[in-house]
Structure 1
Amino acid sequence: MFSPDHSHFTTTDARRFDGVDTWVFDLDNTLYPSDARVWPQVDERITLYVMRLYGLDGLSARALQKHFYHRYGTTLKALMIEDGVEPHDFLDFAHDIDHSTIKLDPALGSAIERLPGRKLILTNGSRRHAENVAAKLGILDHFEDVFDIAAADFVPKPERSTYERFLDRHGVDPRRSALFEDIARNLLVPHDLGMATVLVVPPVLDPFRERFEQEAVKEPHIDYITNDLAGFLAEQVLPEKGAGQAA
């Protein structure tokens, strides 16, 4: 994690944002802070789904859920392969959460609105979930579209085919785009494809998420790391774009 005095980190050979005309954002744990209490609710709903499907107690269902996650990348992918679960039913159940804990984020909204070019959401969740959360944050209208797990044919990130399908569907040139994501491994393929990559980590560890998902990994495929997305956009991206336009 970062110290309170250091909210942003840049690698020495980071790909700059000059020429970027498409800004791509993951949803969960990227566009909202941990205190929004969104992901813990989704995680609990997934555990409940596994409990009911297999007739397990809570602890056993939780253990199986995490086994599925580590083996298949998402619990949904595991359930589709192992038991032929209908994905839309699962997603509707998992994302049936209370959105009242999500607060408007004017700073993030202002920063995203000012980004020049297209803005897209790329998520392993559902379109409905992304739209509901983004609307509560007050940022939905700034995005052109959502590329969700259904659009990816239910193949989750970090599979290369998912990013390629996304780029093709929306006509995105990876060399002119930037991706903001909360899990380091999900940035490996995008960086290889030519995207500028930004890892978004929480200011403090979230006990409801696994530690590896929150690590500020300083690896060659990660250009920037931040624990303050709105601040990063305002301080690191927009001044640069403004300077380029003034010149």
Structure 2
Amino acid sequence: MLLEGKRALVTGASAGIGQAIAIGMAGAGADVAFNYDRGEEGAAATIAGIEAAGRRALAVRSDVADPDAAPAFVGAAQEAFGGVDVFVSNAGICPFHGFLDMPRETLERTMRVNLHGAYYMVQAAARRMVEQGGGGSIIAVSSISALVGGEFQTHYTPTKAGVLSLMQSAAVALGRHGIRCNALLPGTIATDINKDDLADEEKRRYMEGRVPLGRLGRAEDLAGPAVFLASDMAAYVTGASLLVDGGMFVNLQ
């Protein structure tokens, strides 16, 4: 029960990594509020998972690309739970597309959701933590794509590099308030975001072959690292980035 008594917020938690982190934090003792843009069934499953752990759940439907969604989400959690101790910026999209004919709207939407959305959400959570005192933990889900390139991800990789940089700068800006800011960098995690890409069996086998642990990641693989960074076990960890990729990044030979 590393998060017993804590109040955690997670964006984009109706499926995938966000859902796994939200339920994982509830299992570690936290009450959990989460945001989602679509997927009513998935949101209901997240609520059920949180409540099955014996914790309180709050679901708020909103689009992180809307700057006004951030204070509204944090405010709703404040009203329901009385405060914010942990914030996880997870919401993101990756519509794969080539570089030379990238539609303007695809680029701009990806930037608004992944980078601008993370910025506004983290800022709103930080403001609440500073106002209430007592510090807190902010975690942003970046990606191994912050460190490497991708032919069909020229719009996506800059946003994830930006999220990583945001956590580094926020760690400096918020350290005096006792707020720790860290980034998780997942490798290839099998979720809805890449299910079409991984439907190609040859590509899937290639990706699995690059991972020293011999398999692609599962959303649940991010829950433990997130709980650790949110907990007092990571009390002296800030500005850090944690790869959760089965060893893919170091397997370059």
TM-score by length of 2: 0.43
TM-score by length of 1: 0.43
